[in-house]
Amino acid sequence: MLCPDRASSGPYLDSAHGNYTPSPGYGVKRNPTLVPQLDGYSRGNCAHCHEQHASIGGAEPAPTGGPSKYELLANNFSGKTTNLYAQSDDVCFYCHTTSTATLQSSAFNNYTYSITFGGNPDTTPNNIFDTFNSTSYHNLNDVLSFAKKTWSSTFTSDSNPCSACHNVHIAKRSCGKPSGSFDPTKSAISKPSDHSNLWGDDSPGERMSNTTLYGANYQPPCYYNLTNLEPDGASSDRATQADKTPDYVKFCTDCHNASNVISSTVLGTLKKIDWETGGGDTTTSGDKHGKNSATTNICIDPPYNSTSSCTTSGLGKVLSCLDCHEPHGAPNSFLIRKEVNGGVINTVGTGTSDYGYLCRQCHMDDKDYNSTSGTANRWEAVHHCAGDYPYNQSMCGPCHGGGGGRVVCGGGGGGGTANPINCSNCHYHGSSRTDCDYAPTTRRTF
């Protein structure tokens, strides 16, 4: 007699896929008009995802093509190495879509992080399938390859890449945003190193409010067009909102840390990320958006400073990975969100000066530094004039490629202009002035 491995139903009934109460619930249910063999099966029933003998009632329900591993309605993953993905490339896409025919009754939306937890009024894309077909995305084949290599006892060639971050039998729906309720005690994510448990549902150990790890230094960004803060815009109190935010740092650095070498089909070898180490400007110090700290002072906007100013009061802040990045996909390079710290940003492309529109969501550009004559997305003031500036305002050519003469700090004009330097030339995970400076030091630049 063959027995399935670790088959159980207990937590499933409390999961998003298994939910059936209060009636009608929102759990999985294949559309009976498309799949008449399943008409009468209750919402959340296992048969909506699993088909014994690759048939129900003597016929195979749509999508056809079985049998598939784990008795699934379709193959877990096709092995496609790059997007654009088709619906048949991942079994999850059969329900988590609105742009193509969904098998779920009724259709539902899965919005991006910047919509759901940042309040972005631009509610596109509104489903997981389209999000993974964005310009920048978590490559599903790369995700599964890394999970198999790193946690081989949990993930195999037959696994679904989405399961690296989600356990479909226990994942819960925490949020009905952009409208509706938010319950931080529920979670949809599981660390790949701890696949059998949810992550982020326990306070404070799995939240950004964990004072053992972050003290009082995690500052949630602003919700769209409000002084109230993410993840739900319900309060402006830092501690309250931090305790609603899962510890995405610990979650993401299960993979993206200072040790793991991660290969990307599209990007090559990814930068290592050290969010845990302090040390200021030493050669072994960590990222300054993590637990490391800016050195002397910083020109920063609210809520990281009470006002837009160059002071020491903004030092020591810790960011969460999802304050800037989307987990699934984004139209901007490197999964950069469309809404950051309360405002919608321009498209951010690799190797373009548009990256500054991301930076200025928190850092002061010339427009913030001199509101009457400064220019948005111009960064002369913080690099040449403001406290703790790194470069003297002379000899423009060696860095700026020979353009123009000196400019007036914060004025965006004056004695001439110089060719801009793309932010990403000098600022990225693990970067320091040794990477981009004609007078190198070990000063960290991210």
Residue 308 CB neighbours (<10 A): 16
pLDDT for 5 equals: 42
Using an 8 Å Cβ cutoff, are 414 and 406 in contact?
A: yes
Q: How distant is the alpha carbon of residue 28 from its chain centre? A: 25
**For residue 60, what is the DSSP state?**
P
pLDDT at 341 over 60: yes
pLDDT tens by residue, 194-214: 999 999 999 999 999 999 999
Distance CA 151, CA 171 (A): 20
Distance CA 365, CA 253 (A): 30
Q: Where are the domains of the chain?
A: 110-275+318-364
Using an 8 Å Cβ cutoff, are 194 and 39 in contact?
A: no
Q: Which of 29-38, 298-307, 387-396 has the lowest mean pLDDT?
A: 387-396
Distance CA 411, CA 271 (A): 35
* The model's pTM: 0.92
pLDDT tens by residue, 394-440: 767 777 776 554 555 655 444 455 677 888 888 899 888 877 766 66
Q: Which two tokens stand for residue 115?
A: 């919509």
Distance CA 220, CA 235 (A): 11
Helix intervals (H) in 167-296 = 211-214, 238-242, 248-252
Using an 8 Å Cβ cutoff, are 69 and 158 in contact?
A: yes
How long, in residues, is the chain?
446
Average pLDDT over residues 283-303: 86
